[in-house]
Amino acid sequence: MSAELVREVTYDGRLAARIRCHDGEGGTSVVEAKVTPIRGGTPIERGPYIFATAHEALRFMQEALLTLQYLGCAID
């Protein structure tokens, strides 16, 4: 990966999460998320989740996004 990939997740038209995958130090790849509670409140930061390869990080992100879609969220 040579940049970053960002996806926004919405539920009932409201922002539910923002997931970011980007290059880390030493050739690693990093996934971070900011999750907003559906009933309101302060967003919660999750991660960083550090992976040895970009492939592993992207796969993790894809699985997380697929799970959110199963739960009724839209991915932008």
> What is the DSSP secondary-structure string of the chain?
--SEEEEEEEETTEEEEEEEEEE-GGG-EEEEEEE--TT----EEEEEEEESSHHHHHHHHHHHHHHHHHTT-EE-
On average, the pLDDT of the chain sits at 94
Q: Give per-residue pLDDT as tens, 15-72.
A: 999 999 999 999 999 999 999 998 888 999 999 999 999 999 999 999 999 999 999 9
Q: Residue 3: pLDDT band by 50, 70, 90 thresholds?
A: confident
68 and 17 Cβ atoms separated by less than 8 Å: yes
For residue 5, which amino acid is it?
L
Which residues on neighbouring strands pair with residue 44, listed in sequence order? 35
Q: In the predicted model, is pLDDT for residue 1 greater than 60?
A: no
pLDDT of residue 2: 61
